[in-house]
Amino acid sequence: MSTNKKKIWIVLLSFFALFAILVTLIVILICRENDATGYISGTQQPLAEEMSGNGQIVEANKTDMTIMVYIIGSDLETDDGLATNDINKFFAADLDDNINVVVQAGGAYKWNNPNMEAGSTHRFSLGDNELNDFVNMGKVNMASPETLSDFIKFAGANYPAEKFTLVLWNHGGDVPLQYGIDQMFPGETLTCDELKMALAEADVYFETVVFDACLMATLEAALAVKDYADYMVAAESVIWGGLTYETWLPSLNSNPDADPETHYIKMMKSYMKFLDQVGKAGSISMLDLDKVDEVYVAYVEYVKEVGENLRDKGYDEYCKLRDGCGYYSNTDSVDIVTLASAYITDGSKDLVEAVEDAVIYSDSDYAYSHGLATYSPHQRIDKYTEGRDVLERLDYDDTILDCLDVYCSIALSYMGQEDLNKYAGEWFDLAAVQEHFEVNEPVEPGIYELVTFDKNGQMVARFTEEELQRIRAVYSALFLKHTDTSYIVLGLESYSNYDQDGDLIIDKPTSWTTINDNFVNLSLLDRYVDYEAGRWEDIYGITATCNGENILIIVYYTSENPKGTILGYVNSTSIGEGEGAYIYTFDDDDVINLIHPILYTDGTTEYVKIVQEDILASNLKLNYQNIDYSKVDIVSFIKVEDIYGNTYETEPKFYE
């Protein structure tokens, strides 16, 4: 290789070290999308024909049900009017007098209707197409347990009923698991222990607690609400466009004496049907909270054996299997059934049965989603101290905490001394780490050469059985030559090309993802692997602009659909701003431009519109097609990542 090409090699490798940091920022809390269906679909529309009342509550007779709707509008309302749309779904239901709907809505810089004041919190009831008993409460922290508790006590006292339902509307997720982001009080959220505190203080028992918020179908959330409700409805994954109240509410109207499952199963089925119609992937489930304690007991027994195995030098096997269990954005949650089925212990069967007994109904587009997840740190070890604090405040058994302590201590040790000094807490288990490294040589995370050799005229890399067990991912990196001093970065794509002996074949990629026949820049965001069944699911981001704004087009690939499906796009300007970025649906007349990173041989980069074509969203064509090497000059190399955070790469090869 010439000196110039060696220099380019170093630059290419350095780019992906920096690019990995960017991807880490992009693996974010994907919470909503803007194609909400509502009674009044546009912004700046009235919630009702007129407003009545002066804030004085008229003594109410006891009704069959009071639905308390707690809405923290945040950017979902400010940017897209999603809260206004969902309130209008309640108007559209035309509920009978035997059902009260009481709303408290705040936490948004802007309200997309003329009745509500920007930055303020409002209380009102809905009836006769009016906002009744309307009160402007001014600036109130909606992400406070005291505020939630006060609303529940108010609604319970002033709108008495035989049964109560609580709807919690906003963002969900993060580490530790949280509900609610109030734009007026940055950094404030409700963690699961604070949610439990609010419900305990309110002293109202609910038939059902509904989370119209992403990623809240977790054991932690269920344990927080189990003493205050019979049922919980939530999603392990993102919520798209709000739940379909327009199905649930008429069901309540027409058959008020039916079991709750009847009403919610209708809503959940219609919600999943809506996702199919708009080409989205999601999940939804309903839990019998009386059976959550049985799940917890079975989970403790399961984790007890996991912890013993981890201490007995079993970190590698658990880490590899945990890595393939699928991701739920950046919550570090894992589906309990998927985990117990992947990493099998004597307690797996009892745990799976307990979850299946507690989950009344579950539907999901994800193979790894069965209705109930739990916090299981893996990607975000740096957030474990905060996550652990919440588990402690939820009175989690020491068996669970000890197991997570061991796993996170070893994982953190592989992240390097700087991260260890920064993120290790009092929980750090030095003895477990020392035992692990008695049989594993510590390696400072970095980029190392992947050793290859010639085999019958083909370059291959060979791994021992032990090394194969430590591989978490294999990628093919691809660059297109742009000028003599620059390359177009196409990114990394999953790679799997082994010969009959199990050796990894080192070869150039034969195909790549395209949009309208243009090769795109890809970054992997989420992945799931079922090693036994050979099933996989990947979510990638493609750099682009939409109407001049920087975005990532979100593409969903599965083993059944390897050519992929476009889910929508993330507005990348919101990444890292704490709002919980969400996925938008393209409008047909949106103008899309593909954007590619350009890497120069001096190490500098810039994002450039290489493809000059303006693409209407209605004409977007995703494909996975062959690369014609007679028309392009490329650079490619193979990248292997192991469970310890190490990267092994072949020398980039030039195809001219």
168-207 residue pLDDT tens: 999 998 889 999 999 999 888 999 999 999 999 999 999 9
Q: Give 401-428 as a 3 state SS string.
A: HHHHHHHHHHHHHCCCHHHHHHHCCCCC
* Distance (Å, whole) CA 187 – CA 199: 22
The winner for highest mean pLDDT among 4-13, 29-38, 206-215 is: 206-215
Question: For residue 628, what pLDDT is reported?
Answer: 87
- Between 183-197, 214-228, 504-518, 558-572, the lowest mean confidence (pLDDT) is in 558-572
What proportion of the chain, given as a percentage, has pLDDT over 90?
47
What confidence tier does 264 reach under pLDDT thresholds 50, 70, 90?
A: very high
User: In which residue are the tokens 């405040």 written?
Assistant: 393
What confidence tier does 28 reach under pLDDT thresholds 50, 70, 90?
A: very low
Are β-strands 453-455 and 504-505 bridged in parallel, bridged antiparallel, or unpaired? unpaired
Q: Is the pLDDT of residue 40 over 70?
A: no
Phi-psi region of 85 (alpha: psi -120 to 50; beta: other; left: phi over 0): alpha
518: CB partners within 8 A, 6+ apart: 594, 611, 613
User: In which residue are the tokens 């975000």 written?
Assistant: 380
Asked if 351 contacts 300 with a C-beta cutoff of 8 angstroms, the reply is no
Asked if 330 contacts 28 with a C-beta cutoff of 8 angstroms, the reply is yes
Domains and CATH numbers, the chain: 3-27+447-655 (no CATH), 50-213+241-279 (3.40.50.11970), 294-436 (no CATH)
Sign (positive or negative) of CA dihedral 248, 252, 255, 258: positive
Q: How many CA atoms lie within 13 Å of 497's alpha carbon, on the beta-carbon side? A: 17
Report the pLDDT averaged over residues 283-289.
97
Report the pLDDT averaged over residues 606-616.
89
DSSP summary character for residue 218: B
Report the pLDDT averaged over residues 255-267.
89
Record the tokens describing residue 546, joined without a space: 């939409």
Q: Is the pLDDT of residue 580 over 50?
A: no
What proportion of the chain, given as a percentage, has pLDDT over 70?
87
215-259 residue pLDDT tens: 999 999 999 999 999 999 999 988 887 888 888 888 888 887 888
* Distance (Å, whole) CA 381 – CA 387: 10
User: In which residue are the tokens 């510590």 written?
Assistant: 442
617-632 residue pLDDT tens: 999 999 988 888 888 8
470-499 residue pLDDT tens: 888 899 999 999 998 999 999 988 888 888
Question: For residue 137, what pLDDT is reported?
Answer: 94
